[in-house]
Amino acid sequence: MGAAMIAEGIRTRQTVIDAMLAHARAALPEECCGLLLDCDGVIDEAIAATNVRHSPTRFEIDPRDHVAAIRKARATGRTVRAAYHSHPAGPPGPSATDAAEMGDPSLLYFIVSLQDPAAVHAFRWEGGNFSAVPIVPVP
Ligand SMILES: [Zn+2]
């Protein structure tokens, strides 16, 4: 992924944004998590995963779900571009826990906050910190 491309934002289908919000609500009171597939520069599918921590403040994607997402991406000419998780009662920015447990710096991280108003924000990991990446919704 090119830095210039990221600076312009990450194009994301509105259906994917809606799916992440719905998953976050369905998983309450726990954090939800999942992976996002990229097709030619557009995030076009959210794959829900099991949060093996079953926690309201932490998440860990079930490795089996991660492998399944990679296989699905490969089989359909796409890539796993990002991971997502929710903050049931927290703000939409990365928490200290998120930074401490950041798993894969090649992924973007989407965070769904269910604080009022519910919102989805994206971040990338760079130089030991998260920086915001604009989400550009596409139909
Ligand atoms: Zn978090």
Q: Which residues of the chain have pLDDT under 70?
A: 1-7
The reported pLDDT for the residue numbered 7 is 62
- State which residues form the domain around 59: 3-138
Rounded CA separation 139/105 (Å) = 28
CA of residue 85 to ligand 1 center, whole Å: 6
The reported pLDDT for the residue numbered 4 is 47
Give the contacts of 78 (CB within 8 A, at least 6 positions apart).
37, 38, 39, 44, 45, 72
The reported pLDDT for the residue numbered 139 is 93
CA of residue 119 to ligand 1 center, whole Å: 13
Number of domains comprising the chain: 1
Q: Which CATH number is 52's domain given?
A: 3.40.140.10
Residues that place a CB less than 5 A from ion ligand 1: 95, 98
Strand pairing partners for 11?
Answer: 42, 136
Q: Per the omega criterion (within 30 degrees of 0), is the bond before 29 cis?
A: yes
